[in-house]
């Protein structure tokens, strides 16, 4: 039996074992693992979730019996202290000696602690292991009991920002202290870092940049951090997350070659200067670099396993450091070369400070290649951009379309995922290629997505590749002639479009009828809201008719806010409002002490309403001519307008009147996703109509109609659908377009995504809506008119029904108010007390 000893039981050490036991011939080998921590390998990438309630077992990468089932000897709480490479043995702190044929160093790294005077004081921690987190939690509880809430994190990189989130989750006020002039200086440029900073500061996390800490203040325990120029930051706890240093002490002691700045030197086979000793993960110095990401570590583990079993796989010469992650709720990604020099390429930057989005792509000088990029606030395009970059694929004639969306009929995407070469790496965490995924389907090894995941481990790392893996599996299944369905959930073997037709044809009117006839089980939080939406789209049922099946916002006809209060948004069609109605809104806000905010959709939002006050607030508003603005539903929200030619000297037509007519027509219209519209009186576009699901712009000779745009996390420009049409034609085309979308789109699919996936695209949609190629135009017209004619205000239903009002109370057995809701002052108004 060939003996392999693995020193280190972290993520990469575990991955080596997992890769090894999956290979043919592994039964000839005996693996013994030594881990100094008291538990089996766990997921350090999601370590901060430990603060959110996950246990050590939840984070574990294996079951309690996995090692035994795979004939691996696991020794926890045992530290390897010496390597004797001459006689191929190791010694542990228990003074036990073990022999090996091959030794794998997977000792990882330790937290780098800067040489700052006072770091040994009580209340100073590193952020590395579960034991570290336990100590941080205990100390946070202690200082809070003493009335302190201020804590600092030293380091504004990936780990530092994760630590800041953890500190905030413990109920403390975090301060991030960074020596560099920007956050995440290795991954982000100045613009991206500034955007990330503003998003993080919105969460009441204070950022201190360009700060050099001179010493830790306090006698026995920390009371502050002294910066240069005698600037003192008063804090009672410090978490150091300023980088890592390789745990190479074993290699050094054994005489292995190490780098000047640390790390055991390895070749492309992961061999150290001793060919029988391998190093993988953050202890390995490959190409003069330490790679602190999981994906390269996993690839190193696979290469070492292959080499020990006499395989030929070697490490790639160039390791890609592209990464996609979510930091404190903010999406961040970078790929390729994010800091291209001006002489080497041309950066294209999109910045939206209103929505907190920053996108940069770096294009080659000849305009033909994507060299790298940065995404902050919205990383939904990361997979597509990364594949274009890594596979050298062609880019659009207008490269900015890659981050702005297509303008006109030209697509900005790379086309079908099947256009990728088979060598394209889809899952970088597990180094799984497109060929591996598709071939496992086409050769019969796998039949479903679950089979592919089990076989290849794709999507089991960070999960960012899942959408692309799902698409590849579907396309591979289609290539075999299999029917591929996007079913709603496990309770229905039907898509939303099929369920819509089933409900309509069978005239089903409630959930139980549908479940009992064509479904199974009791339904779930996915299918119940979908069915409620379908009933509303067919019968114009209000949310009051299917209360138990709605999500929380539709259930209470208002958006729940972070402290358990609700916001009230009355409809203000086209943004036009009288002075009397403005006064009423002010009086209501004053009476109930509500925070007042004008929204981006030209409405007024009243925040902080308690549940039991909602019917009374609605009555005051309805009595003054208001009605529900449906801000809580997947329905029409607003139709934004400029003042048009009524007031503006540039206006070419009356955009305000048109917007009001449109909003009154489509108000309450339930759909797969929320819908917004806009009407601009001229091409200056003050209403931002081309950023909406439908947009209309006045031009010489009529109106131009645009469809399928949106703002939000993944903004898209609307595309031109019809030119120089009159108002009547606009209404007709919009009726048909909206009804066709409602009939055929999947759950929570926006109009832009629906159009991208619609077979035949824009040209096909024009044939259906304008040319009536399917012969359904008259039906669509009648269905829309039926919805328009049967509209009812949901707020009015509640205030007219004592029975419906019963659900608007905090406690099921009492009419008492919730006295635990707390507010604090903010600019002469109120806001929820920070978490």
Q: Is 708 annotated as a binding residue?
A: no
Judged by phi (left if over 0) then psi (alpha if -120 to 50, else beta), residue 646 lies in: alpha
Q: How many CB atoms lie within 10 A of CB 302?
A: 24
Report d(CA 392, CA 386) in Å as an integer.
10
Q: Distances in Å between the alpha carbon of 147 and those of 141, 530, 777, 821, 822?
A: 10, 48, 68, 21, 19
CB 160 within 8 Å of CB 259: no
Report d(CA 596, CA 586) in Å as an integer.
8
Q: Distances in Å between the alpha carbon of 296 and those of 187, 260, 270, 390?
A: 17, 21, 12, 15
Report d(CA 491, CA 494) in Å as an integer.
9
Nearest to 468 by CA among 427, 421, 414: 427
Report d(CA 336, CA 182) in Å as an integer.
20
Question: Which residues, at least 6 apart from 626, have a Cβ–Cβ distance to it below 8 Å?
Answer: 570, 571, 581, 584
CB 423 within 8 Å of CB 734: no
CB 171 within 8 Å of CB 137: no
CB 285 within 8 Å of CB 260: no
Q: Count Cβ neighbours within 10 Å for each residue of 354-369 and write b for 16 or more, e otherwise.
A: eebbbbbbbbeeeeeb
Question: What interhelical angle do 466-479 and 449-456 show, nearest 10?
Answer: 120
Report d(CA 258, CA 799) in Å as an integer.
76
Query: What one-character DSSP code corresponds to residue 746?
Result: P
What sign for the dihedral angle of Cα 698, 699, 701, 705? negative
Report d(CA 671, CA 746) in Å as an integer.
10
If DSSP codes are grouped into helix, strand and coil, which group holds residue 404? helix
Q: Is 642 annotated as a binding residue?
A: yes
Q: Is 648 annotated as a binding residue?
A: yes
Report d(CA 553, CA 561) in Å as an integer.
10
Contacts of residues 393-399 at CB distance under 8 Å and 24 or more positions apart, as own/partner, are 393/419, 393/420, 394/368, 395/363, 395/367, 395/368, 395/369, 395/370, 399/348, 399/361, 399/363, 399/367, 399/370
Report d(CA 478, CA 487) in Å as an integer.
16
Question: What interhelical angle do 466-479 and 434-442 show, nearest 10?
Answer: 40
- Indicate the pairing of strand 636-641 with strand 675-680: parallel
Strand order in the sheet with 231-233: 213-217, 224-227, 231-233
CA torsion angle for 429, 431, 435, 438 (degrees, to 10)?
-30
Label residue 81 exposed, middle or buried (CB < 10 Å: 0-12, 13-18, 19+): middle
CB 38 within 8 Å of CB 153: no
Q: Is 686 annotated as a binding residue?
A: yes
Report d(CA 108, CA 268) in Å as an integer.
18
CB 12 within 8 Å of CB 430: no
CB 558 within 8 Å of CB 568: yes
Report d(CA 162, CA 157) in Å as an integer.
9
Start-to-end CA distance of the chain, whole Å, equals 57
If DSSP codes are grouped into helix, strand and coil, which group holds residue 220? coil
- Residues placed in the known binding site: 642, 648, 682, 686
Binding-site residues from annotation for siroheme:
686
- Which residue ranges are tagged as binding site for [4Fe-4S] cluster? 642, 648, 682, 686
């Amino acid at each position: 039996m060939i003996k392999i000893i693995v020193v280190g039981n972290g993520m990469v050490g575990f991955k080596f074992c997992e890769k090894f036991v999956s290979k043919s011939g592994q039964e000839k080998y005996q693996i013994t693992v030594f881990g100094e921590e008291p538990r089996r390998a766990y997921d350090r990438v999601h370590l901060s979730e430990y603060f959110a309630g996950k246990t050590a077992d939840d984070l574990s990468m294996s079951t309690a019996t996995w090692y035994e089932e795979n004939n691996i000897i696991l020794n926890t709480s045992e530290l390897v202290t010496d390597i004797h490479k001459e006689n191929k043995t190791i010694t542990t702190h228990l003074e036990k000696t073990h022999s090996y044929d091959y030794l794998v160093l997977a000792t990882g790294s330790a937290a780098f602690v800067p040489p700052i005077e006072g770091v040994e004081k009580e209340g100073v921690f590193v952020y590395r292991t579960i034991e570290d987190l336990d100590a941080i939690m205990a100390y946070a509880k202690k200082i809070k009991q003493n009335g302190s809430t201020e804590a600092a994190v030293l380091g504004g990189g990936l780990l530092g920002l994760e630590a800041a989130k953890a500190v905030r989750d413990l109920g403390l006020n975090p301060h991030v202290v960074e020596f560099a002039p920007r956050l995440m200086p290795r991954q982000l440029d100045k613009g991206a870092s500034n955007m990330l900073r503003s998003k993080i500061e919105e969460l009441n996390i204070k950022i201190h940049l360009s700060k050099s800490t001179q010493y830790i203040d306090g006698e026995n325990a920390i009371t502050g951090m002294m910066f240069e120029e005698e600037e003192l930051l008063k804090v009672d706890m410090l978490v150091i997350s300023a980088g890592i240093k390789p745990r190479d002490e074993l290699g050094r002691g054994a005489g292995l070659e190490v780098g000047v700045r640390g790390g055991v030197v390895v070749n492309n086979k992961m061999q150290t200067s001793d060919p029988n000793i391998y190093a993988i993960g953050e202890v390995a110095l490959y190409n003069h670099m330490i790679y602190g990401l999981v994906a390269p570590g996993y690839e190193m583990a696979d290469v070492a396993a292959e080499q020990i079993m006499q395989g030929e796989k070697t490490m790639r010469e160039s390791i890609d450091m592209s990464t996609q992650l979510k930091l404190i709720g903010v999406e961040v990604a970078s790929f390729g070369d994010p800091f291209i020099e001006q002489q080497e390429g041309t950066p294209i930057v999109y910045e939206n400070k209103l929505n907190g989005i920053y996108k940069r792509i770096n294009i080659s000088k000849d305009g033909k290649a994507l060299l790298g990029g940065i995404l902050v606030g919205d990383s939904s395009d990361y997979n597509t951009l990364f594949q274009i970059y890594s596979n050298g694929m062609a880019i659009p004639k207008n490269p900015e379309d890659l981050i702005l969306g297509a303008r006109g009929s030209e697509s900005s995407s790379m086309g079908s995922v099947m256009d990728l070469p088979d060598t394209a790496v889809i899952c970088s965490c597990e180094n799984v290629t497109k060929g591996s995924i598709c071939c496992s389907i086409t050769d019969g090894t796998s039949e479903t997505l679950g089979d592919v995941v089990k076989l290849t481990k794709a999507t089991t790392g960070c999960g960012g590749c899942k959408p692309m893996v799902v698409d590849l599996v579907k396309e591979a299944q289609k290539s075999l002639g299999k029917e591929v369905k996007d079913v709603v959930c496990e309770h229905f073997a039907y898509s939303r479009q099929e369920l819509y037709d089933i409900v309509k044809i069978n005239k089903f009117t409630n959930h139980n009828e549908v479940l009992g006839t064509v479904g199974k089980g009791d339904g779930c939080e996915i299918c119940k809201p979908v069915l409620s939406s379908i009933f509303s789209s067919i019968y114009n049922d209000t949310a009051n008719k299917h209360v138990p099946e709605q999500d929380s916002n539709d259930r209470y006809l208002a958006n729940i806010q972070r402290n358990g209060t609700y916001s009230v948004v009355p409809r203000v069609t086209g943004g036009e409002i009288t002075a009397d109605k403005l006064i009423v809104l002010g009086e209501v806000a004053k009476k109930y002490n509500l925070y007042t905010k004008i929204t981006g959709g030209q409405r007024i939002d009243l925040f902080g309403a308690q549940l039991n006050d909602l019917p009374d607030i609605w009555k005051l508003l309805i009595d003054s001519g208001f009605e529900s603005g449906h801000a809580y539903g997947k329905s029409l929200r607003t139709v934004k307008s400029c003042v048009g030619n009524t007031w503006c000297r540039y206006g070419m037509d009356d955009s305000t009147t048109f917007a009001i007519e449109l909003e009154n027509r489509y108000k309450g219209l339930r759909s797969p996703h929320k819908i917004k519209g806009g009407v601009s009186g001229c091409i200056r576009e003050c209403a931002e109509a081309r950023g909406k699901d439908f947009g209309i712009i006045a031009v010489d000779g009529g109106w131009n109609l645009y469809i399928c745009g949106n703002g939000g996390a993944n903004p898209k420009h609307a595309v031109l659908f019809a030119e120089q049409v009159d108002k009547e034609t606009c209404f007709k085309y919009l009726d048909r377009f909206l009804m066709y979308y409602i009939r055929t789109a999947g759950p929570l699919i926006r109009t832009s995504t629906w159009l991208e996936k619609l077979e035949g695209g824009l040209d096909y949609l024009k044939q259906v809506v304008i040319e009536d190629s399917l012969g359904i135009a008259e039906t669509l017209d009648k269905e829309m008119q039926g919805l328009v004619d049967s509209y009812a205000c949901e707020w009015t239903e509640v205030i007219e029904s004592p029975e419906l009002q019963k659900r608007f109370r905090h406690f099921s057995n009492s009419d008492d108010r919730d006295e635990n809701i707390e507010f604090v002052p903010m600019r002469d108004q109120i806001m929820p007390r920070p978490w």
